[in-house]
Amino acid sequence: MPPAPRLALCVSVRAAVIALCLSASTLSPAVLAADGMDFDQPEAFATLKKAVSYFDEMETLPEEAWISRDQTSARDDMDDMIKQAMEALDVPELTQLRTTYRKVEDKISDTRQQISELKEKRILAPDTDVSTLTRFTPTETLREFTASTRGDYDLLIKAHETNIEAYQGELTTLEGQLAARLKEIDITLTPDQVQVWLSSVVGDDVLDMSVVFASIKSVAQQLAELTRDSGENLEYARRYYGMVVMLHRMIVTMQEDFITRVNDEVLPKLKGFATEAEATTRDARSLIKQGGQRESLENNIRANALTLKTITLYRTLVSEQRDRVKQSLSQSQRELAVATNTYRTVKLSAHVADLIRQGVKTFDTLAELQVPVAISFQNSAMREEFRKLTERMQQAK
């Protein structure tokens, strides 16, 4: 019998050390390593712990107060901590890859703009071959200053088009790298499917949710281990379960924000674009009947047909993803309500450990309900039109 108190003391001491590490945000990689996830684990744990403290504070405050602190103040602080934890749970390598992807896209957009400007200048230039000065000018930047003939501008336009091809090759490489890295955290998308989401106005939201879900599962698993190691110490076990409650609230927040953005921002804009394209098509057909320039007007009709087809693809993509998230949200809200009620009433640390393990399974189920929709572009023309629609939505903010 004597060894038992010594074991209990060791467990209690270990729990105290773990709690100290949590408060100092210096949890060691050995304690927190899980499935190769490389998000900011100490920051995630520290902010979740602060969120729990505000959650506990709400019980001691009035619902409303004119001057002093009330439940709304504490709830706002809790939600701020949850948002910070959400950022900490993102995987830096994936964020960097997406940032690099956006920069390359910007280079392509800038280069296309430069080509348009060069074509305008070309129209007004003398119709002669490359000038001697431009021929021997060493760089593209300097050639733009020395260009004076159509031959000069043709040379520059060709060089810029070659740059775009190189940038598009970089995008293809990045899509493959992202797909491979996502697969490592159990998010299966082909490079073509990654391309679709990266081209979408809500692509970052969808990928962020998927990555944060993976991180949440990792954190929940670690909290289950910490709870097990805390032995009979209900204070620590309850604190860890409070952090799981914050993870549930984080999921609900992400899902509600995504659904709201799709319903209130993305779909109305796509509807407006479709209405505009349909009106332009009707006008073009009417002008053809009136004897307008048939070839040009038919080209406009074909362009609008591509736009409408791409809008249909866009609508399908975001609507299906919204519906998946909505289905997951219904379960997330129920799980949050149950977890919140349980946190207020739990009495045994052994019960907490079981609850957290169940939470890990729940997070798995929720993630499976809202896996990213798998759609690929039919051709490069559709991809380019999709990109243009995304740009239009971003500019309309």
Query: What pLDDT digit, counting tens, does each position of 63-105 carry?
Result: 888 888 899 999 999 999 999 999 999 888 888 999 999 999 9
Say whether pLDDT at 2 is over 50.
no
Closest CA to 320 of 328, 331, 309: 328
> What distance lies between CA 143 and its chain's CA centroid?
40
* 392, burial (CB in 10 Å: exposed 0-12, middle 13-18, buried 19+): middle
Say whether pLDDT at 114 is over 60.
yes
pLDDT at residue 304, rounded to an integer: 92
Say whether pLDDT at 13 is over 60.
no
Length of the chain: 397
Task: Assess contact for 49 and 22: CB atoms under 8 A.
Answer: yes
Say whether pLDDT at 24 is over 50.
no
In whole angstroms, what is the distance from residue 15 CA to residue 236 CA?
7
Written as one letter, the residue type at 35 is D
Task: Assess contact for 235 and 382: CB atoms under 8 A.
Answer: no
Calculate the average pLDDT of the chain.
82
Query: What pLDDT digit, counting tens, does each position of 295-334 carry?
Result: 899 999 999 999 999 999 999 999 999 999 999 999 999 9
Task: Assess contact for 305 and 280: CB atoms under 8 A.
Answer: no
In whole angstroms, what is the distance from residue 46 CA to residue 49 CA?
5
**End-to-end distance of the chain based on CA atoms, in angstroms?**
70
The alpha-carbon radius of gyration of the chain (Å, integer) is: 28
Higher-confidence residue: 365 or 312?
312
pLDDT at residue 21, rounded to an integer: 39
Tokens describing residue 323: 């519906």
In whole angstroms, what is the distance from residue 302 CA to residue 282 CA?
12
Tokens describing residue 187: 């998010």
Residue keyed to tokens 């019980």: 59
Say whether pLDDT at 344 is over 90.
no
Written as one letter, the residue type at 164 is I
Query: What pLDDT digit, counting tens, does each position of 253-284 carry?
Result: 999 999 999 999 999 999 999 999 999 999 99
pLDDT at residue 350, rounded to an integer: 64
Say whether pLDDT at 26 is over 50.
no
Say whether pLDDT at 42 is over 60.
yes
> What distance lies between CA 339 and its chain's CA centroid?
26
Share of the chain above pLDDT 90, in %: 40
> What distance lies between CA 105 and its chain's CA centroid?
17
Task: Assess contact for 193 and 372: CB atoms under 8 A.
Answer: yes
pLDDT at residue 97, rounded to an integer: 92
